[in-house]
Amino acid sequence: AFNFCAGPASLPTSVLEQAQAELLDYQSSGVSIMEVSHRGDLFTSVLASAKARLRRLMQLPESHDILFMQGGATAQFSLIPSHFLHGVGAYINSGQWSIKAIEAAKRFGEVQVLASSEEANFSYMPTQASWDKLASNADYLHYTPNETIGGVRSPFVPEVEIPLIADFSSSILSETIDASKFDFIYAGAQKNIGPAGVVVVIVKRELLKTAKEQASPVFDYGKMLAADSMVNTPPTYSIYLADLVFKWLEEQGGVSAMEEINNQKASRLYSCIDDSGFYRNPVALSDRSRMNVPFILADDRLDATFLAESEAAGLKSLAGHRSVGGMRASLYNAMPLAGVNALTEFMRDFERRYG
C-alpha cells in the first residue's frame, strides 16, 4: 500500500524495520530505547546524533541551535509571539495554517497581515513586491513556506531586514534551503521527520536575546536551549525515530537528492492532472506545492467512488482536507516514485472508466 496521508504520514519502510528489529533490545542493553533514562548515555547519544545529522542535512550555520520541543507546531503558533512579539508581528496569510498562526498571535499583541491570498481562495502565494514596503517596523515576519491544506508553496524566501520566521511543518527536508536566511524555523515532525510528538525548532541565538521570559520553562526557548531540550523528559521514542529518518535521508544522498526525487514525483502527478480534462488543481503554476497536491474531479458525485476504489487499490488516504473537499495526495519524502506511478495509473484508468 502507498500512504498519501497529509499527516501523520508514513515513514520509510527500512526505518520501521530497523525500529522493529531493535524494539525489545536496543544495542544489546536488554531493554527498549523507550525504557532507558533520558539522561543516560544510550539516549543522550541518540539526541546528539539526531542534532548532528539534522545540522548536516540542513547545513545549519553555527549561529543556529536545534531544539526538540512538544506541543506540535500549534504550540509554536503561540510561543513565537509570546517570546518575540513586543510591538507588532507581521504575517503573510497564504492559507489555513497561516490563519491559525495569525489568530494565535493576536492574543499576544498587534498583528499586521502584510498580504493575503484569501480573496482568491488561497490559490497562490502573495509576491514580495505586493507587501515589501510594509514590513520594516515589525518585530518579525512569519510565513508558511508550504500550506499543507491548500497545496501552495512559496517559490521564494522573503528578503527582509527583520527576523524571518517560517513554519516548515510540511516541507522541512524536502528541498534545500539557505538556513542562514532564517532566524527561526519550526516543524512538527509528523510529515517529513518522524512520528508525532516532537516539534523541531531551529533558532538563531541572536534572536533569543530579544525573547521574553516564559512562565513555563518547558516552553521557554532559552531554558530549553540551556537544558539541551531536556528541561523535562523529552519524547524519547519520537526523537529516536527522527534520528533513524535523518540517517535514512543521509543514505539517500541528503536533501538535494531528496529534492530531485520530490520534483520528479510532483511533476509526474501535476502532468497527469493537467493533461486530463477530468482532474483539476486550482493553484497558480509557479506556487504549486511539491508535498501536498490537491485535486478535484470534474464531477464531485464521483468522489466517493474514487476514494473507495483507490483505497481498494492500496492507495491510502486520498481524501482532501475536510475544509476543502476533493482529493489530496501528500508526497512526503517517504513516498517513493513507485507510489506516484501507481496513483497516476489509477487516475488515468479511473478517468477512462468514468470520464
| Binding-site ranges for ligand PLP (CB under 6 A) | 7, 72-74, 97, 144, 148, 167, 169-170, 188
Give the nearer residue to ligand PLP in terms of CB position, either 29 or 74: 74
Q: How far is the CB of 333 from ligand PLP (least distance, A)?
A: 15
Is position 248 annotated as part of the catalytic site? no
Q: Give the CA distances from residue 247 to residues 40, 193, 199, in Å, rounded to whole numbers and listed in that order.
A: 22, 11, 18
Residue 97 annotated as part of some ligand binding site: yes
Give the nearer residue to ligand PLP in terms of CB position, either 45 or 216: 216
Q: How far is the CB of 36 from ligand PLP (least distance, A)?
A: 26
Catalytic one of 51, 191, 204, 265: 191
Query: Is 34 buried (19+), middle (13-18) or exposed (0-12) by CB count in 10 A?
Result: exposed
Residue 232 annotated as part of some ligand binding site: yes
Residue 148 annotated as part of some ligand binding site: yes
Q: How far is the CB of 17 from ligand PLP (least distance, A)?
A: 26
**Residue 129: partners with Cβ closer than 8 Å, 6 or more residues away:** none
Q: How far is the CB of 222 from ligand PLP (least distance, A)?
A: 22
Q: Grid coordinates standing for 344? A: 497516476
Q: Grid coordinates standing for 32? A: 527498549
Residue 74 annotated as part of some ligand binding site: yes
**Is the peptide bond between 235 and the residue preceding it cis, with omega within 30 degrees of 0?**
no
Give the nearer residue to ligand PLP in terms of CB position, either 125 or 272: 125
User: Do 338 and 17 meet the contact criterion of CB atoms below 8 Å apart?
Assistant: no
Is position 191 annotated as part of the catalytic site? yes
Catalytic one of 65, 139, 167, 287: 167
Give the nearer residue to ligand PLP in terms of CB position, either 44 or 78: 78
Nearest partner of 89 among 160, 159, 152, 142, judged by Cα: 142
DSSP for 11-34, please give it: --HHHHHHHHHTSSSGGGSSS-GG
**Residue 257: partners with Cβ closer than 8 Å, 6 or more residues away:** none
Is position 349 annotated as part of the catalytic site? no
Which parts are annotated binding residues for L-glutamate? 39
Which parts are annotated binding residues for pyridoxal 5'-phosphate? 73-74, 97, 148, 167, 190, 232-233
Provide the annotated active-site residues.
97, 167, 191
